[in-house]
Amino acid sequence: MIALKLDDVYDCFYSSPIKIEDLEEYYVDVDDGRGLTPLKKMKRLFEKNPDGSYKFLFAGYKGCGKSTELIRLQKELQRDFIILNFSVREELDILKERGVI
C-alpha cells in the first residue's frame, strides 16, 4: 500500500511488534548513528543480575523500537537464559480487572 496523503502514512505501517523470525529481514542497525551501544549495556546488566533483583522498564511511544530492541536482546541472551514472551494485554482483561465491565 502506498500513502497518497500524509493522513494515510500511518496506515502503511505494521503496528504489531516484530517477531524474532522477522528481525533479520526488517531490522536496520542504527547504533553507529546513536553513538551508543544500548544492546551491549542491557546484556551486561542481565548477566550481572543472577538473583533477578534488577527490574527493567522499557517505555516509549508506539513504534519507537521497544519490542525490536527486546527481540535483539533475546537473541543475545537465549543461549544463557530462558526467555519467556507474553503480552499482558493478551493474558489479562484490563477492563474486567478494574471493574469497568
Give me the tens of pLDDT residue by residue for the chain, a chain 101 residues long.
678 888 888 777 766 777 888 888 878 777 777 766 777 888 888 888 878 788 888 888 877 888 888 888 888 888 888 888 877 777 777 676 566 55
How far is the C-alpha of 91 from the C-alpha of 77, rounded, in Å?
24
Cell of 29: 542497525
Cell 542481565 sits on residue:
46
C-alpha pair distances (Å), 39 with each of 25, 66, 95: 19, 12, 34
The answer to whether residue 1 sits within a structural domain is no
- Phi and psi, residue 53, nearest 5°: -75, -25
pTM: 0.63
Sign, Cα dihedral of 50, 41, 71, 93? positive
Domain count, the chain: 1
Residues of the domain holding 81: 6-97
Assigned domain for 75 exists: yes
